[in-house]
Amino acid sequence: MVQQVTAPILITGGSGQLGHALQALAAARGLDFVAVSRPQFDFEKPETITTCFEDAKPLLVINAAAYTAVDAAESNEAAARAGNHTGPLQLAALCAAANIPFIHVSTDYVFDGNKGAAYTEDDATAPTGVYGLTKRDGEEAILATNAKAIILRTSWVYAASGKNFARTMLNAARKTNSLRVVADQRGTPTAAPDLAAAILDIANILQATGWQPQYRGVFHATGGGETTWFGFANAIFAATPDDFPKPVVTPIATSDWPTPARRPADSRLDCNKLAKIFGLKLPDWQTSLPPIVTVLLAMEIPAA
């Protein structure tokens, strides 16, 4: 994008992997931004939301903060609801009152994965666990306000920072020569830097065009292509140097790896609306993976 946002941007969830990516790219683009995270900004403490908003005086808010512990959410619904529903709703209401845009990140887990094809934004939601349920409720609550809200559903986010599948696989490979990975859950890995670029490109478009009615609502924003967790694991190891330990990866069924929360079996997202309205398309996941693996390997200290 040629044009750049010059007004202050408030980025919440600054300590997360998407928050890190947003800050790095915003700084590289010379944008004026303020990033906040816990304990300064905490969805479980409503007063911190208002304080951070009023202190920043933003002309745009990007909410990258959320409760993302999918399994822990099953036994911590109150915290999940604060992080994914009531907290974001409060932030959206502040944006609505200030008449500024609000970009909110949501998830593929609002779907049950039974469609058998990529989900569009018009498909009915049917979350299978507390995490997906609270994210869905957050979406609906945000859209029930009069906020200039753009909700971006994404999936399988990973980066060179934070806890994610790519880091988990690389660390596991240093400790064992055999891994079992679920092969019957289908979706799309999304590199945090790619998602951050799309979000900041949307911010630029908003500045260039002003708010347009077609911008409001839900959009899907994931990497291009599709795979399984098993396929993702193999691609991660294929991106490592020859001297990196490569374990034997055995495909297993979801039923062989029980978890407190049930994951959608096929949570692929159709991203055509993002391309139609904003002219944006994230790179294919296979293209974005190797550079992040390289950074992860450079950051990690090999196990003794």
Residue 119 bears catalytic tag:
no
Q: How far apart are CA 272 and CA 277, in angstroms?
A: 9
Is 183 among the domain residues?
A: no
Q: Which pLDDT score is estimated for 303?
A: 44
Q: Is the predicted pLDDT of residue 1 greater than 90, yes or no? A: no
Is 122 among the domain residues?
A: yes
Q: Which of 67, 119, 131, 215 is catalytic?
A: 131
How many folded domains does the chain comprise? 1
Is 237 among the domain residues?
A: no
Task: Indicate left, alpha or beta for 297 from its phi (over 0: left) and psi (-120 to 50: alpha).
Answer: alpha
Is 17 among the domain residues?
A: yes
pLDDT tens profile 26-53: 999 999 999 999 999 999 999 999 999 9
Average pLDDT (118-144) is: 98
Contacts of 122 (CB under 8 A, 6+ apart): none
- Number of Cα atoms under 13 Å in the Cβ half of residue 291: 8
Range of the domain at 18: 9-163+189-225+267-284
Nearest to 129 by CA among 71, 44, 79: 71
Q: How far apart are CA 187 and CA 13, in angstroms?
A: 24
**What's the CATH number where 17 sits?**
3.40.50.720
CA distances 32 to 5, 25, 60, 200, 244, Å, are: 8, 11, 11, 12, 40
pTM over 0.85: yes
Is 139 among the domain residues?
A: yes
The 3-class secondary structure across 226-253, one letter per residue, is CEEHHHHHHHHHHCCCCCCCCCEEEEEC
